[in-house]
Amino acid sequence: MKNSEFLKLSALDLVEGYKKGDFTVSDVIETALEYIEVNERNLNALITPLYEEARSRSWMLDAALARGEELGSLFGVPVVVKDNITVDGVRTTCGSRMLENWISPYSAHVVECLERAGAVIIGKANMDEFAMGSSTEFSAFGPALNPWDLSRVPGGSSGGSAASVAAGYAPIALGSDTGGSIRQPAAFCGVYGLKPTYGLVSRFGLIAFASSLDQIGPFARSLKDVAAILQVISEPDARDATCTRKERPNYAEFLNVTSLEGFKVGYLAGYESLEIDDEIKRAISQTIEICKESGAEIVEVDLPISTRYGLPCYYTIAPAEASSNLARFDGVQYGFSVAADDLKELYLKSRGSGFGPEVKRRILIGTFVLGSSRYDAYYLQAQKVRQLIIREFNAAFSKADVLITPATPTLPFKRGEKLTDPVKAYMADLFTIPVNLAGLPALSMRASMSQSGLPVGVQLIGKKFGEGDILKAASVIEQVVGPAATALGGDRK
């Protein structure tokens, strides 16, 4: 096998290759690192490549392989981790000047899980600053680019993670999703992106944006890899009080299906008349037809509150939580700090220079809606709307097992296209935000390729802890459309 072929293999194929002795961990890791070194100058998907750390770990794993030790489920698999998820001894920047030189003294729970499973972390992924954005253009380290077309954005805020998987840096990656930050970039980059049920995956070690909405999840190029990494990272964790102790099923078992007989698939009423790209409408129709031909019963569902009020509800609650969470970054204990004559000046200068414009905007919004004279009119009302959205989804799932919706209203947009109009940029998460507000699981997957050669994604939404149903439906769809493609160097525009 040529070394370049390693970059196209799935995580589980790599593990199988190690077991057979087809190649070594250091073969794979060295190939990935060399490929990253060549392509990063164009893609900018990583903030911190971990060249030496990855090489050292690959040698250690090869030694374990030679000793005949039992291999973990992700043994020797290269993984990219979003840069708001901590890794012990590695800088974690959140894409911000505020944390540009902060070295984490501990690893996130999900990172510990990956390392126990034998994975090799090869880099920390570029992201919108503090996960606030939908294009990865709001990064203090420059924008990440879409590997399918370098003139376009990869989505955000986990754009670096999605781009890394799509480009072949690694078969799997971790991101975080507060309002669509896994699913939207997955759609833009043509890979799988799963936002698990709120509370299924520990948030310990995830630097918070909005604590009631944040969730860590995987990117991959195959559903088998999605199931494998979800199995690993969903291990219960007492350090996160919101992490459920509910028994996890064997997620791989949900992929062994060829039919959706007895399964109900819901679709959004009137999606044809929504302001979304025509190629996305066609992808939705084709996906519904695949499910129908596989034996599923197709039902229409109505989500008027989610569609109309999800965005304003989210952009009240999320900034409110962010303004509280980001208050800790004040230039005193850690992070970016500016010399000042008094404490007030220290706060103003450190936060004024350390935070970028989008983060400042959301902190201001959050501070505004939490003001004593506006709390009832904005924040409290938004929480009431959130409960209505939860009820609306409950009603929809009384009729369906899984819902199919657009993942995004548009195909990947050009760099700089929406920078001057934040409201227009916020619309990119129109179909993903309600899922976070309701705490539900959802998967973004490639349904087709556009006429211009860009990925077209759809979203599958499940009931609470219904990841298995999502994987079941997605597996049948994958059998028709195929796994995610890889935008390796020569395939890019």
pLDDT of residue 492: 45
- pLDDT of 493 > 50? The answer is no
Out of 10, 26, 58, 82, pick the active-site residue. Answer: 82
So where are the chain's domains? 3-239+246-302+394-491
* Upstream peptide bond of 157 is cis (omega within 30 degrees of 0): yes
CA–CA gap between residue 18 and residue 300 (Å, rounded) = 47
CA 195 → CA 76, 121, 149, distances in Å?
24, 21, 25
pLDDT of residue 420: 83
Q: Which two tokens stand for residue 163?
A: 């781009």
% residues pLDDT > 70 (the chain): 98
pLDDT of residue 319: 98
Q: What is the mean pLDDT of residues 484-492?
A: 64
pLDDT of residue 488: 63
114: left (phi over 0), alpha (psi -120 to 50) or beta: alpha
As a whole number of Å, the end-to-end CA separation of the chain is 27
| Domain 3-239+246-302+394-491 architecture | Alpha-Beta Complex (3.90)
> Is 202 a residue of the active site?
no
Location of structure tokens 């040529």: 2
% residues pLDDT > 90 (the chain): 90
Phi, psi of 91 (to 5 degrees): -65, 140
Location of structure tokens 């030790």: 69
> Is 157 a residue of the active site?
yes
Q: What is the mean pLDDT of residues 452-474?
A: 98
Amino acid making up residue 291: C
Q: pLDDT-based confidence at 453, cuts 50/70/90? A: very high
**Cβ count within 10 A of residue 421:** 10
Closest to 450 in 3D by CA, of 272, 187, 164? 187
CA–CA gap between residue 357 and residue 351 (Å, rounded) = 11
CA–CA gap between residue 378 and residue 323 (Å, rounded) = 15
pLDDT of residue 1: 64
Closest to 144 in 3D by CA, of 185, 180, 192? 185
Q: What is the mean pLDDT of residues 300-323?
A: 97
> Is 384 a residue of the active site?
no
Class of residue 25 by CB neighbours under 10 A (exposed 0-12, middle 13-18, buried 19+):
buried
Out of 134, 176, 181, 306, pick the active-site residue. Answer: 181
Amino acid making up residue 236: P
pLDDT of residue 270: 87
When computed from its CA atoms, the radius of gyration of the chain, rounded to whole angstroms, is 21
The rounded mean pLDDT for the chain is: 96
Q: What is the mean pLDDT of residues 27-41?
A: 97
List, for residues 119-154, the tens digit of each pLDDT value.
999 999 999 999 999 999 999 999 999 999 999 999
Q: Name 405's bridge partners.
A: 459
pLDDT of residue 490: 41
CA–CA gap between residue 454 and residue 155 (Å, rounded) = 13
Phi, psi of 456 (to 5 degrees): -120, 120
CA–CA gap between residue 230 and residue 195 (Å, rounded) = 10
Q: pTM score > 0.85 for this model?
A: yes
- pLDDT of 491 > 50? The answer is no
SS3 for the chain is CCHHHHHHCCHHHHHHHHHHCCCCHHHHHHHHHHHHHHHHHHHCCEEEECHHHHHHHHHHHHHHHHCCCCCCCCCCCEEEEECCECCCCCECCCCCHHHCCCECCCCCHHHHHHHHCCCEEEEEECCCHHHCCCCCCCCCCCCCCECCECCECCCCCCHHHHHHHHHCCCCEEEEECCCCCCHHHHHHHCCEEEECCCCCCCCCCECCCCCCCCCEEEEECCHHHHHHHHHHHCCCCCCCCCCCCCCCCCHHHHHCCCCCCCCEEEEECCHHHCCCCHHHHHHHHHHHHHHHHCCCEEEEECCHHHHHHHHHHHHHHHHHHHHHHHHHCCCCCCCCCCCCCCHHHHHHHHHHHHCCHHHHHHHHHHHHHCCCCCHHHHHHHHHHHHHHHHHHHHHHCCCCCEEEEECCCCCCCECCCCCCCHHHHHHHHCCCHHHHHHCCCEEEEEEEECCCCCEEEEEEEECCCCHHHHHHHHHHHHHHHCCCCCCCHHHCC
pLDDT of residue 155: 97
